[in-house]
DNA sequence: TGCCTGCCATGCTTGCGTCGCATGGCTGGC
DNA sequence: GCCAGCCATGCGACGCAAGCATGGCAGGCA
């Protein structure tokens, strides 16, 4: 006896008509009639009385119906559970992350994910938050690790946002710098220092986020990546604002100072997916991994 | 997906070997191999890792196994319950009967049936023949004990009619009545007697059935049930026509006389089911019980 | 190292099962 | 009486299931 026959039986019972069930199931009436007859022969009972207009469940038919429904429901559960497992046994996971999240947080979470689910193909794209969100909406990414300065909150309606952490800004100064012994420093105390940034002036997101009104830093050096920036700082060519996420270990030739809370609004870091879209088990699993990684620091 | 495949899957999982499962299931190894492969293709997951010596359940395979067992167990339950229905181990039997058949014939047959098949749930509804037949057609009753006067034969085409007995009419007279010593009496001999009936005159089905043309009985007393009617007769207030079925025992203060065959057309009593409809074993068994009870008088 | 056995996968072939189309029979409504 | 609705069934085509035969791989033993 096959579960398909039980589905047909259930549909006929619901409609009280072989012809109507055949219509719904996209069969001819004759095929359904024969399927019911075969099921009756298999079970050795008559399941329906054939009336002039339709069919009526017999006692054995009434006995079978709840069982049929239970079996079909169970098989639905099977399919759902295997779908969930399948999502982690194969497939792809396309991730985007903003630059400083790519220093440690995201790579570590991805490495753990790959250890657990080696069959899932991973890809990681770096970008700035606005571009990453576009990728999400376009379906080119499954998940993006993004950040938002306090003055530019993310659109909570179009995205599901999982808060990962609040990111602090640090100041990198060379070990011999006059402020090297401090723990916390104010921006005003750096007014005479040259800043090493990723881009010139107001274009740099870090500088813009940290900039109180009227403060105009001197920028003599622009370096694209953190190796270059921190190298310049260590050589005494200037100081730099550094997101905590970008620091995997404190280099021996640098000192990292905290910015005073009044000078450095805290950036919030989220893992974003598109609201209302099916989320694969892999995405769910990576979300959990990122959350754990953020907690572990 | 068919339940047979689940049984094969379960057997392979138990043995940890396709070849051993094939042996138990009386298939070749190749057939079982292909059935597992088909199930895997159907579900979109790998259920077994193929080892040099046998097979091992994968994660999806381990997920499916308890579900497979539950579905197969459920289907076993289906088979058992339907077997029980087929063999009278369960189910319901809904019976209807016309009033005088409920005095002794039908209750006795039902009592015997319940003694033999206590798991079958019984219900009994009293009604007049036309209403009972409607209940049959509507599927609200499985069997009805009905009667038909000779001038109103039942529709033999829509119903299967099992003839149970021909019901005779008797005359109840008080023990001191002038005709009490007789065995048989003619209606004309009762012309001067007052009749006790269930309703006035021509409305009473018994009076109408027994009434020869031109015979106009005097009706002084109307009593609804047989206790009342026979009580009045015993008290000498009149005589009454009594269906043989209504008499469970001859009361000590009454004499029951037969009506002469020319005066009393015999009513036929049938057990009716709907023609062309599946008849459950319970119905068949009750038909036999009613027949036996009718013969036993 | 070579041979043998165990075990699963797969090609080829045959018979069975399923289903569409066409048709027949019955019932109920107009 | 005719028509429509509805279920059952014959015929034929196609797909599926399973046996036989064979291939490939791994492990054990002489």
Determine the Cα–Cα distance for residues A103 and A126; give it in Å rounded to an integer: 11
Give chain D positions with protein CB within 7 A. 5-10, 17-22, 25-27
Q: Considering the domain B3-86 in this protein, what is its CATH number?
A: 1.10.10.10
Show residues of chain A in contact with B70, CB under 8 Å.
Answer: 74
User: ipTM of the assembly?
Assistant: 0.56
Band (pLDDT 50/70/90 cuts) for residue B32 is very high
CB atoms B82 and A46 under 8 Å: no
- Quick check: A19 CB within 7 A of strand D? yes
Which tops the pLDDT comparison, A296 or A82? A82
Instruction: Tell me the CA–C1' distance in angstroms for A29 and D3.
Output: 20
Interface probe for A, chosen from B35, B71, B76 (most Cβ of A below 10 Å), is B71
Structure-token pair, residue B163: 């003839």
Q: Which of A56, A71, A81 sits opposite B139 (nearest CB)?
A: A56
Considering the domain B92-166+267-296, what is its CATH architecture? 3-Layer(aba) Sandwich (3.40)
Same fold, B92-166+267-296 and B169-259: yes
pLDDT at B297 over 60: no
pLDDT attached to residue B89: 65
Lowest pLDDT segment from A8-17, A54-63, A128-137, B101-110: B101-110
Residues A253-258, mean pLDDT to the nearest whole number? 77
Exposure string over A205-219, b if 16+ CB within 10 A, otherwise e: bbbebbbeeeeebeb
With CB atoms and an 8 Å threshold, state whether B43 touches A2.
Answer: no
Quick count: other Cβ atoms within 10 Å of Cβ A63? 19
More confident residue, B257 or A55: A55
What residues of A are in contact with residue B85 (Cβ under 8 Å)? 45, 59-60, 63
Q: What is the pLDDT of residue B70?
A: 94
Measure the N-to-C terminal CA separation of chain B; round to a whole number of Å: 58
Going by CATH, does the domain composed of A91-167+267-296 fall within 1.10.274.10?
no
Q: How far apart are CA B130 and CA B210, in angstroms?
A: 20
Q: If DSSP codes are grouped into helix, strand and coil, which group holds residue A167?
A: strand
Contacts of B45 in chain A (CB under 8 A): 82, 85-86, 89
Strand partners, B269: B147, B165
Task: Decide: A18 and A9 in contact? Cβ < 8 Å.
Answer: no
Using the beta-carbon criterion (under 8 Å), do B59 and A4 form an inter-chain contact? no
Q: Residue A197, SS3?
A: strand
In chain B, which residue's Cα lies nearest the Cα of A2?
A: B2
CB-side neighbour CA atoms (13 Å) of B157: 0
Taken in order B183, B184, B188, B193, is the CA torsion positive or negative?
positive
Which stretches does DSSP call E strand in chain A? 48-51, 54-57, 92-97, 121-126, 143-148, 159-167, 169-174, 184-185, 194-197, 218-222, 240-243, 254-259, 267-274
Yes or no, beta carbons of B60 and A3 under 8 Å apart: no
- Domain covering A3-88 in this structure, CATH number: 1.10.10.10
Name the residue with higher pLDDT: A118 or A178. A178
CB A256 within 8 A of CB A226: no
Question: What would the two tokens of residue A48 be?
Answer: 């329906």
CB B35 within 8 A of CB B59: no
pLDDT for B173-216, tens place per residue?
A: 887 788 777 778 777 778 778 787 766 544 455 656 555 566 67
Residues of B in contact with A74 (CB under 8 A): 67, 70-71, 74
- Where does B169-259 sit in CATH, by number? 3.40.190.10
pLDDT in tens, A65-119: 999 999 999 999 998 888 877 766 556 788 888 877 777 778 778 877 877 776 6
A247/B253 Cα distance (integer angstroms): 116
Handedness of CA A196, A200, A206, A209 (dihedral sign): positive
Q: Could you tell me how many CB contacts below 8 A there are between chain A and chain B?
A: 87
Q: Where are the beta strands (DSSP E) in A184-295?
A: 184-185, 194-197, 218-222, 240-243, 254-259, 267-274
Q: Which of A68-72, A105-109, A265-269, B281-285 has the highest mean pLDDT?
A: A68-72
Interchain proximity A43–B278, CB inside 8 Å: no
- How far in angstroms lies nucleotide D17's C1' from the CA of residue B32? 11
Residue ranges of domains in chain B: 3-86, 92-166+267-296, 169-259
């Amino acid at each position: 006896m096959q579960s398909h026959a039980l589905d047909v039986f259930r549909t006929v019972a619901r409609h009280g008509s072989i012809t109507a069930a055949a219509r719904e199931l996209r069969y001819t009436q004759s095929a359904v009639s024969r399927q019911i007859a075969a099921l009756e022969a298999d079970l050795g009972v008559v399941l329906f009385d054939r009336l002039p207009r339709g069919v009526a469940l017999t006692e054995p038919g009434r006995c079978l119906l709840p069982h049929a429904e239970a079996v079909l429901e169970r098989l639905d559960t099977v399919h759902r559970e295997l779908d969930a497992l399948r999502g982690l046994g194969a497939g792809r996971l396309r991730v985007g992350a903003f630059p400083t999240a790519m220093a440690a947080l995201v790579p570590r979470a991805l490495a753990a994910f790959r250890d657990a689910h080696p069959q899932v193909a991973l890809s990681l794209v770096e970008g700035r938050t606005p571009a990453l969100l576009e990728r999400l909406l376009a379906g080119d990414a499954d998940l993006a690790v993004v950040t938002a300065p306090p003055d530019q909150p993310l659109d909570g309606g179009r995205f599901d946002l999982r808060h990962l952490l609040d990111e602090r800004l640090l100041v990198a100064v060379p070990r011999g710098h006059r402020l090297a012994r401090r723990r916390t420093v104010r921006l005003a105390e750096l007014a005479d220092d040259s800043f090493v940034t990723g881009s010139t002036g107001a274009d740099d997101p870090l500088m813009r986020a940290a900039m109180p009104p009227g403060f105009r830093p001197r920028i003599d050096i622009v370096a694209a990546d953190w190796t270059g920036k921190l190298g310049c700082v260590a050589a005494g060519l200037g100081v730099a604002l550094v997101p905590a996420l970008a620091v995997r270990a404190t280099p021996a030739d640098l000192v990292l100072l905290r910015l005073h809370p009044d000078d450095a609004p805290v950036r919030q870091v989220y893992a974003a997916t598109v609201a209302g879209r099916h989320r694969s088990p892999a995405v769910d699993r990576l979300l959990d991994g990122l959350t754990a990684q953020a907690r572990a620091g």
